[in-house]
Amino acid sequence: MKYLIIGAGGTGGTVGFYLTLAGRDVTLAARGEHLRVMREKGLTMSRPWCHTRQTIAVKTLDTEAVSAAAEQDAACAESVAGDAQQDALSGTPDVILVCVKGYSLDSVVPLIRQTAGPSTIVIPILNIYGTGEKLQEKLPELTVLDGCIYVAANIREPGTLVQNGEILRVIFGLRDESTASPELMARLEEIQEDMRACGIDGCFSHHVRRDCLKKFSYVSPAGAAGLFYDATAGDFQKAGPQREMLIAMMREITALADAMGCGFDEDCVKKNLDIMSKLDPASGTSMQRDIAAGRPSEIDGLVYEVVRMGERCGVSLPTYQAAAMLLKKKYGEG
């Protein structure tokens, strides 16, 4: 399997690190200083939970240069794309993992079109719920799945990632399997086994909408409550108002899932708190880090969209509504 991973941050970089370490054919699409350091020195992974630090060589692709090539006419696009790469893609990727922030989703569509073939499988594993369906509308010629990831990792500095906990689980699946060919189903099973062989808990889900909502029931409350209280994992690991808000938000997502016909098959509050308990107490969320640094954030998709989902489904979400009201006053519409 040949993998192209668009976005080499805490999500894509971590998955790419483990796949590359296990000898898979992986290209990481990145930009800026992070790209430069990876090209010159490799990708470093720091894992404080097991006291290790490791640097490996990785193949890279300059997202900005290739996207510029995609905007040119077809006659010269191929040569420009080739010049943009440190290591050329070794053939058309079998799998493209989209690991960018929600607000960058539209910007990577040209890159996907430039690199994908007719049989390429596209798997978005973003924080925001429903991105697979949105991306499929923009790429009707390709097979775009739904997906999500459980990982606590971020860029510490250009070229260096820190993984703050052992969990690394990638879930993906078809929104509708009724028209899927046996060949496609077999390929998805192959991706699952490939990931598992590389130390990633890959899961080809037959209930991917529900499973993505389950992940959302963790990442949205953690981001919203974390931003509301300026809280870290350590604040949520003990009794207090921060933990109470986190739990209330998890319960509201559970109610939303029921209304959407995707009711959970387990106690997500218990499961999510267990995940939170294993994190570095100092770790926060990417949304908190982005806002603190004055960068664009996923506040709309992780907080405000939840309120809109509740309105569409007729579900009362008082904790989210109160948080959204305060956060809009403080940070605007996102």
- CA gap 146, 168 in Å, rounded: 17
Could you read off the pLDDT of 288-307 as tens digits, one per residue?
A: 999 999 999 999 999 999 99
CA distances from residue 86 to 23, 83, 92, 191 in whole angstroms, order as listed: 18, 8, 16, 26
> What pLDDT score does 202 carry?
98
> What pLDDT score does 70 carry?
54
Domain pair 2-206 / 210-331, same fold: no
> What pLDDT score does 68 carry?
62
**Distance separating the N- and C-terminal Cα atoms of the chain:** 38
Strand partners, 147: 172
> What pLDDT score does 69 carry?
58
- CA gap 12, 93 in Å, rounded: 15
> What pLDDT score does 333 carry?
79
Give the full edge-to-edge strand order of the sheet including 121-124. 59-62, 25-30, 2-6, 95-98, 121-124, 143-144
pLDDT along the chain (334 residues), means of 10: 97 98 97 97 95 97 73 47 51 96 94 96 95 96 97 94 94 96 98 98 97 96 97 97 98 97 94 92 92 94 96 97 96 81
Measured N-to-C along each axis, helices 208-229 and 318-331 cross at an angle, to the nearest 10 degrees, of 50
Asked if 187 and 207 count as a contact pair (C-beta separation under 8 A), the reply is no
Q: Number of C-alpha atoms within 13 angstroms, CB side, residue 232?
A: 9
Domain ranges of the chain: 2-206, 210-331
CATH superfamily membership of 210-331: N-(1-d-carboxylethyl)-l-norvaline Dehydrogenase; domain 2 (1.10.1040.10)
Copy the structure tokens of residue 209.
């909408």
Could you read off the pLDDT of 156-205 as tens digits, one per residue?
A: 999 999 998 899 999 999 999 999 999 999 999 999 999 999 999 999 99
The CATH architecture one would assign to domain 2-206 is 3-Layer(aba) Sandwich (3.40)
> What pLDDT score does 74 carry?
45
- Please give the distance of CA 97 from its chain centroid, rounded to a whole number: 9
